[in-house]
């Protein structure tokens, strides 16, 4: 990384010049620096509205960058150790879909774990690629899916040598990392591209003693959700390209779906956040790890809760662990993770990232303060005292259900469908998604056969208060199935 280069922020500098030039706007957006919408300006601030501008020659154009955006992307590529870094303003969803659609066309096979984010399966619906699912490991004590075993990846490649790519979650929502270097080595030996959904791994590039990053492992592409742990604005992301990828072609793919009105607020946040992490990342993530480690220790002292970490590593499906993650198992206090999630928000004014059947996840960053960590710990102690019940560890002991794929996602999604009550749909082929959000990992995806185990899981998740999404029926009582 070139530290002198990293001190620059070209988009930030260009916007500062633009503001000083006091240009009279006869272009969009129509709020004209906020003057046309006083209530919005009062709420967001005049400075913010004045910087919400459209593409113009001095500010470059996201769809075909030739000046300040191009320079900012080159500096970002240096920061991440990538051949190229593309600014994404449609969220990491667009980054993931861009990766998949850059290497796969209709009928091409892509190997992936089934616990991918819905954005990856959405990409299959759009481009017509065929998934080859590698079942992740499962920790039944914690009720979580893990990473991919190298042996399972090798088996999938042997059975599907024509596959174009492997998609790897690294890390998972819970902080679990696969043996990424070895997966890359095995895939490249068979001329298969490796795509990494690194939505929760920005800090791998800038912190010390972190799991290996996708670019350092030799992956071909990576989707990095800068806003999650990197400090940029929500919806801003990077798509990183390695040496074996043509970034100009990838940009063409991204431009099929990304807005032509790129938000300069999102782009400048990426520019400044990258600069901040490049210059201060070691310090930022050192503090983050210390806060997360302290919180885990104190939560584990409460009894019942289990904030897990590196001790669950097994050298295979849990090859490494993200030390910034505060994932907490709750079932030994008699509560589902989503119940603790709801209690923290509704009774204690604490918003954690998500809760599922067995765990909740609190995102810790350098923006947190010690007293907020203490407030979380104290609230969990009181929740245990006031709401704790008998251990429910034996009930529905895992989040992951092996899929029964009966049809490719695109064909199922666009097929003629009928709506059935969910409880009456056993044996049918699903024509849409069902998922808890967050994290947005489908319980059912288009083309999968609906089983009794899946129905039981959906019903249990609803009973515990999980927020279910994905179905056309907004009440998630009916499901669209493929008409036979």
Can you spell out the DSSP letters for 467-481?
Answer: -EE-SSSTTSSEEEE
Angle at 66 between CA 60 and CA 71, to 5 degrees: 90
Token pair, residue 243, equals 């040496």
Average pLDDT of the chain to the nearest whole number = 94
The region of weakest confidence among 6-20, 34-48, 426-440 is 426-440
pLDDT score of 396 more than 60: no
| pLDDT the model gives residue 466 | 82
pLDDT grade, residue 263 (50/70/90)?
A: very high
In angstroms, rounded to a whole number, what is the distance separating the alpha carbons of residues 181 and 200? 18
Q: What is the pLDDT of residue 76?
A: 98
Query: Distance (Å, rounded) from C-alpha 304 to C-alpha 204?
Result: 31
Residue 336 CA to its chain's centroid (Å): 23
Rounded CA separation 27/211 (Å): 46
pLDDT at 400: 65
Q: What pLDDT is recorded for position 192?
A: 98
Fold exhibited by the domain 281-387:
3.90.1150
Which parts of 105-220 are beta strand (E)?
A: 109-113, 130-134, 138-139, 144-145, 165-169, 176-177, 193-198
Q: How many CB atoms lie within 10 A of CB 297?
A: 12
Token pair 């929740």: residue: 383
Annotate 391-418 with DSSP letters as a single string: --TTSS--S-----B-S-HHHHHTS-EE
CA dist., res. 395 & res. 338, Å (int): 15
Calculate helix-pair angle for 264-301, 370-387, nearest 10 degrees.
50
Q: Express each pLDDT in 264-314 by its tens digit.
A: 999 999 999 999 999 999 999 999 999 999 999 999 999 999 999 999 999
Task: Kindly tell me the burial class for residue 278, based on how many C-beta atoms sit within 10 Å of its own C-beta (0-12, 13-18, 19 or more).
Answer: buried
Res. 366 pLDDT band, cuts 50 70 90: confident
> What's the mean pLDDT in 448-456?
92
Reported as a pLDDT band with limits 50, 70 and 90, residue 34 is very high
Q: Is the pLDDT of residue 243 over 70?
A: yes
> pTM for the complete prediction?
0.93
In the predicted structure, residue 457 carries a pLDDT above the cut 90: no
Question: Domain extents for the chain?
Answer: 281-387, 409-482
Fold of domain 409-482: Molybdopterin biosynthesis moea protein, domain 2 (3.90.105)
């Amino acid at each position: 990384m070139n530290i002198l280069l990293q001190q620059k922020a070209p988009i930030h500098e260009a916007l500062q010049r633009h503001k000083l030039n006091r240009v009279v706007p006869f272009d969009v957006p129509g709020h004209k620096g906020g003057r046309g919408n006083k209530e919005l300006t009062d709420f967001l601030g005049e400075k913010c509205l004045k910087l919400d501008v459209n593409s113009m020659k001095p500010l470059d154009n996201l769809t075909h960058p030739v000046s300040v955006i191009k320079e900012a992307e080159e500096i970002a590529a240096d920061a991440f150790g990538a051949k190229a870094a593309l600014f994404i303003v449609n969220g990491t969803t667009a980054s993931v879909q861009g990766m998949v659609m850059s290497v796969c066309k209709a009928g091409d096979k892509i190997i992936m774990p089934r616990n991918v984010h819905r954005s990856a399966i959405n990409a299959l619906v759009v481009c017509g690629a065929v998934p080859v699912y590698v079942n992740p490991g499962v920790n039944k004590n914690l009720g979580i899916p893990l990473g991919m075993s190298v042996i399972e990846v090798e088996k999938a490649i042997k059975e599907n040598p024509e596959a174009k790519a492997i998609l790897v979650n690294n890390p998972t929502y819970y902080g679990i990392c696969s043996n990424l270097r070895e997966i890359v080595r095995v895939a490249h030996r068979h001329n298969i591209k490796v795509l990494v959904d690194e939505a929760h791994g920005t800090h791998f590039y800038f912190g010390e003693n972190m799991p290996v990053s996708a670019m350092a492992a030799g992956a071909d592409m990576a989707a990095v959700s800068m806003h999650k742990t990197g400090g940029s604005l929500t919806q801003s992301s990077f798509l990183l390209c390695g040496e074996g990828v043509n970034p100009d072609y990838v940009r063409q793919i991204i431009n099929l779906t990304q807005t032509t009105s790129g938000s300069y607020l999102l782009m400048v946040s990426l520019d400044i956040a990258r600069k901040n992490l490049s210059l201060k990342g070691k310090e930022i993530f050192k503090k983050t790890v210390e806060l997360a480690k302290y919180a885990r220790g104190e939560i584990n002292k409460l009894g019942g809760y289990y904030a897990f970490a590196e001790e669950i590593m097994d050298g295979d499906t849990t090859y490494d662990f993200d030390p910034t993650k505060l994932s907490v198992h709750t079932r030994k206090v008699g509560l589902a993770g989503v119940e603790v999630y709801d209690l923290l928000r509704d009774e204690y004014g604490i918003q954690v990232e998500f809760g599922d059947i067995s765990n909740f996840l609190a995102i810790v960053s350098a923006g947190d303060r010690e007293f907020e960590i203490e407030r979380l710990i104290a609230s969990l102690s009181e929740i245990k005292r006031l709401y704790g019940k008998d251990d429910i560890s034996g009930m529905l002991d895992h989040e992951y259900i092996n899929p029964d794929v009966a049809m490719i996602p695109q064909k199922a999604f666009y097929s003629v469908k009928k709506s059935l009550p969910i409880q009456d749909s056993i044996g049918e082929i699903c024509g849409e998604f069902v998922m808890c959000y967050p994290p947005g990992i489908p319980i059912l995806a288009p083309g999968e056969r609906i089983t009794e185990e899946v129905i039981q899981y959906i019903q249990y998740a609803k009973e515990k208060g999980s927020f279910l999404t994905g179905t056309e029926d907004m009440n998630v009582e009916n499901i669209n199935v493929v008409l036979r």
